[in-house]
Every structure is written in structure tokens, then in C-alpha cells.
Structure 1
Amino acid sequence: MNCNCCGSSKIHHQNVLWQELIDEWRISQYEVDYINRQQGFHCQDCYSNMRSMVLAMSIMKCFGFTGIFKDFINEEKIQNLEILEINTAGSLTQFLSKLPGHQLKTYPEIDMMNTKFVDMSFDLVIHSDVLEHIQHPVKALSECHRILKPGGYCAFTIPIIVDRLTTSRVGMPPSYHGLGDNLPDFLVYTEYGCDAWKDVIQSGFQECRLFSIEYPTAQALVAVKSLK
């Protein structure tokens, strides 16, 4: 497969999970394999992994574009969008930063549960593997809903164990998604499963779209704000 972010055919794979996280996450070898592929199968030119690739695909699909993300950002209608990227959306920052209406806000500069932006500021909100680190993810998604314009999209990825239901880690030993970096922003509050869409609906969105590349490897969700 070629990279759908830059079009390159130079693809490399490396394992990224470590035993401590595997044990904390309580995942089987089958799950280890597809998460390693999701995070470690990447383009050698733009460094997009499959998580970034599926996120790029979900955004392009919502805007009816067929092609690669590098060309998508040159479309006139995309150049006119107001876009908020939260905490660097994987490798997509290098492309999104070329858009005039793009803003990148990172922790602790932004609190997803209280973004400080006025209502209906953005056409598109993007974040990648961030929501699982937010103490109250429904509140964070409700903020995304509030700051989106009618008809706007919130496109994001989260690590999903597809054969499980979502589980809170409250009351469990701390788990961090950062090898050797037990920093507060790497702390996991939620382990997402196949019912991850519920947080989207509970936050005020009426529509949640699911996009997949090579199931069960990589999924992206897009929350759609209704026009009325």
C-alpha cells in the first residue's frame, strides 16, 4: 500500500508496544499485533503511520476528495477552512500548517474541557490519540461540538480494542502511553472499545461516522455537527 498522506511507496514497519503497557492493557497477542501495525507501520518519507493515514482518509472522505492528503490541502475550499488541530494530529501537522486558517494548540496551552474559543469558531477540529488522556472525554467532545460551526466536523483517532467495550481506568493502577515518560499528559483515563461512538453522541453530536483502513488495524471517527 502507498501512503495516502504523501503518496510514497516507501513503507517500513517496527513494533512499538512494550511489555509493561501490554500487561497493563491486558491485551492478547492478536491485539498486540494490530496495534503494533497501527502505530509502527509508517511512511519513510512523511513518517505517517496508519493512525495518521486513516485520519487523513476520514477528513478527505467527509469533503468528497479522492486522492492524497498532500494534494487535498491545496483545494480552494480547504484553503478557506478554519481548522483547529489539538496536540499535533500525528504526522498531519506538516500538511495542515500550510493552510491559512489552521491553528495548532497543544497541552497545557489548551484545555480540551474548556478551550476558551467562542462558539462556532471552526469548520474542522482534529485530534489524534488525545481523548483517552482526558479525564472527562464527553466534556471535551462537547467543547468540540460547541466551537464547531453548523455542518462542521470533529475528526479524531483513539486507540480502540475492537472486541471490547470501553472501560474507565478509574480505580486501576496508573497506565501511561509513553515509554519511560510517566508524565501527567500521558496518563490514560479511558481504554476505548467498540462502543467509543457513545461518547460522541452523549456530547451533543447527532452523527458519528466510522472510517477504517485494514480492519482491525486503524479506525478514525468523525463527529458531525448538525446544520440546525
Structure 2
Amino acid sequence: MIVLPSYERPVGVHPPLDSPGYGSTALRHPKRDLVLLPQNLTEVTGPMLGADRIRPGDDDLTHALGGEAQGQRIRVFGRVLDSDGRPVRDSLVEVWQANAAGRYRHAADNWDAPLDPHFTGVGRVLTDADGRYGFTTVKPGAYPWRNHHNAWRPAHIHFSLFGRAFTQRLVTQMYFPDDPLIPYDPVLGAIPDPAARERLVSRFSLAGTTPMYQLAFEFDIVLRGPAATPMEAPHDD
């Protein structure tokens, strides 16, 4: 059996499994203590997630189904780093998001906002040797949800990061600076540490902005350690 290294879990970084302000956690969080399943050779070595999972254009969400998506074009870029600041290469980074009107291309999303026929809302890239990734997309809109009266989710992009196997997966969300809905969002508010919450807010980058084409937002993802990016579905040590 392969023995993997253990890491100290920083206090206050990840949200608790049961967050009263986030209503649906009461129905879906585990009621019993989690059981740590060992990663044997099968779980660690396969299936492999590499460059063959990426197709040309997977990093561009603005062109799909024979046309161009509506909305403010943006570039989202950054680095995936370990706890020591070293780049994590060959990590499969996937994103999904609502369109510029705040609606997902999903059968369960049927609120009164237009669907964009040229926006699927999904993309994927592989980090390079320096741990860098990048997507071209449109800025997502806010949308209502039934968590409480007059509840709205701030604009956000979902991130999924894979290692070399399906068992090595982390999920998080990226927000945008100066969004007035952030203080009212119970999902982000479930993270106890204010500094950790700030690490989920991207930074506007004028240097990364393409003149006359798209704005840019930088979002680095740290996998472990005291500066870790908060992730969903944490494990208790």
C-alpha cells in the first residue's frame, strides 16, 4: 500500500459541513463521522488525467455552437501552487458558470433569464510547467436562489482541480472584486476566517487585460497549508 504524506489542517479555512446559513447543507451533509479511505495503487495510478483530456478551444468559453457568447469578455488566469509555493503542473482544471444573464445551461435552471445559444458555460485546461492556467469567458451574472427571502448569489465561477486520478479532486469557487452581493452570500460566509474568504475573490489585472478586447482577473489556487484556497467538501482529520 502506498503511504501518502499527511498535512496539518489549517483552522478556519474550509467551511464546516453543516453551515446553518446555507440551508441545503442541513439536508446533504454527513450525519456521521467521515471515514478516511486509504488510497491504494489502483486509486492513485488510474485513470490518468493528462493532455489527452483537452481539446483545442476548451479554454475558450466565448465561442460555441456556431456563434459568439453575449456579455463582457474576460480572461481568468492564475497559478496552481502547493503549500510551499511550488507550481503544480499537469493539473486538470475545469470550470463551469452561469451565462451573462445569470442562468446555467442546465435543465434544472429555469428562472426567468435568457439562455445564450452560444454559451455552454464549461471549459477545461491543463496547468503548464509553471502551474499556470487561463480561460477566456464572459463575466457571469448574479442569480436568485431559494436559500432565504430575496436571496441572490454573487457572480462566481466554479473550479474543479484534478491531480492524476479521479480520487484527487478539489472544488472551489472564484468571486469578483467589489461585488455588492458578497457580504450577503451564505456560501462564502460559511468560511470562518475573513482572510480565507478574501482568497476566493479574484484580483483585477490591468496588465493581463487585452486592449479593445477583454478584461482580466487573476486567481491563484493554493492547495494546502495556512494560505490554502478554501475548498468544498472538506475532510476531517
TM-score bin, normalised by smaller chain: under 0.3
| Bigger-Rg structure (1/2) | 2
Alignment TM-score, normalising by the size of structure 1:
0.26
* Structure with the largest fraction of helix: 1
Alignment TM-score, normalising by the size of structure 2:
0.25
Bigger relative contact order (CA 8 A; separation at least 6)? 2
